[in-house]
Amino acid sequence: MTRPLPTAARSATPHPGSSPTFAVISGAQVQQALSGREKEIVELVEATYRLHAAGDSVNPPSYFLRFPDRPGARIIALPASVGGSVHVDGLKWISSFPDNVRAGLPRASAVLILNDPETGYPFACLESSIISATRTAASAALAADWLSRSRPRPSRVGFFGTGLIARYIHAFLAGTGWTFDTIGVHDVSADSTAGFRGYLRQAGTAAEVTVHDRAEDLVRSSDLVVFATVAGEPHVTDPAWFSHNPLVLHISLRDLAPEILLDSANFVDDVEHCLKADTSPHLVEQRTGNRDFLNGTLNDVMLGRAAPPADRPVIFSPFGLGVLDLAVGKYVYDEAAGAGNLRLIDDFFHDLRRYG
């Protein structure tokens, strides 16, 4: 049985048969709707994972738009549909342009389109880089909780990659009750490292913050390791770094060599989605010809069908499902609608009479 979704996630879409409306929800409105709601959003993400596992969703493969003249850039389409009390269809359109960072812009930008499941009409466009970061961080915090319930709870966290996603993950860990004795940071960019340390000071962390020049030192000194990089292929190759059996949130999906996964217990959010596009789990499948290295999904852990061992590294590799974006986006829409803050575009839909 799936849990009911939080009250604020219930439907606020236009009534079928009424004249379609179209709202634009800005990043400031998204931030306002989500700020300080970490526990509620994690509960929403958990409920959405349960809906997805129960078959009450449609989440086809993502579609990648790549550019021969800009090989490092891409734009990804994530269509999805989620049922339950969320009951919405839609599409996330998210770009990743790593060169933006040098110009002082975030790497990723995105919009989310919500469609009325009764008429198919789109009824809202939301700024979605915040939604995407939020659902990623909520998924990470949810996994950290469930995957540590049968193991000693980590007290030393290390962030491998210190960009926006790392910041959101730390905020969601802190917002759901996690405290740490030490926080380690490692990044190839000194500016990113300095910025993340500044964020931690501003957030008021009581943990001792250590910058590690060597990636190995970060991993070996952390019970919980968060990979949040833009790596396109494995760059961490030595299983010995993980001999202390940490919990690893492999958010960026392509950091770890197959040898490390084969030496660990592995959990994903969705098997078919994670084992594609040369992710680290996909590389293991290609090498071994099977999926025996997988211990289960996060939903298997939540249902008690799988348990993380205490005597091996535990790696969570989440693809990041479009249904999560829809659930969080619908939550934001309902919050804005409930507060009377929707910015409706008059006459966005025109010529609605079939014969004029």
- Identify the pLDDT of residue 13: 52
Compute the average pLDDT of residues 76-104. Answer: 94
Q: pLDDT tens digits for 29-83?
A: 999 999 999 999 999 999 999 999 999 999 999 999 999 999 989 999 999 999 9
Give the mean model confidence (pLDDT) for residues 3-28: 64
Residues facing residue 111 across a β-bridge: 93, 127
Q: Is the pLDDT of residue 26 over 90?
A: yes
What pLDDT shows up at residue 102? 85
Q: How many Cα atoms within 13 Å fall on the side-chain side of residue 203?
A: 22
Which residue's entry shows tokens 């957030």?
203
Spell out where the chain has E strands: 23-25, 57-58, 63-67, 70-82, 88-96, 108-115, 122-127, 156-160, 182-186, 208-211, 224-227, 247-250, 265-268, 294-297, 314-317
Q: Is the dihedral of CA 301, 305, 311, 314 positive or negative?
A: negative
What is the percent of the chain where pLDDT is above 90? Answer: 87
- Rounded average pLDDT over 134-156: 96
107-142 pLDDT, tens digit each: 889 999 999 999 999 999 999 999 999 999 999 999
**Digit-coded pLDDT (tens) for 184-199:** 999 999 999 999 999 9
pLDDT the model gives residue 1: 34
Band (351; pLDDT cuts 50, 70, 90): confident
Overall average pLDDT of the 85-104 stretch: 93
Q: What is the pLDDT of residue 110?
A: 96
Residue 141, judged by CB atoms within 10 A of its CB (0-12, 13-18, 19+), counts as: buried
pTM: 0.92
Question: Which residue(s) pair with 159 in the sheet?
Answer: 185, 226
CA distance 279 to 298: 18
Which pLDDT belongs to residue 230?
87
State the average pLDDT for the chain: 93
Mean pLDDT to the nearest integer, 311-336: 97
Decide if pLDDT at 14 tops 70: no
According to the model, what pLDDT value does residue 350 have?
87
Q: Is the predicted pLDDT of residue 12 greater than 90, yes or no?
A: no
Between 293 and 1, residue with greater pLDDT: 293
What is the set of domains in the chain, with CATH numbers?
Answer: 7-131+322-338 (3.30.1780.10), 136-317 (3.40.50.720)
- Sign of the alpha-carbon torsion through 250, 255, 257, 260: negative
The pLDDT of residue 241 is above 80: yes
Higher pLDDT among residues 314 and 98, named by residue: 314
**How many whole angstroms separate alpha carbon 138 and alpha carbon 142?**
6
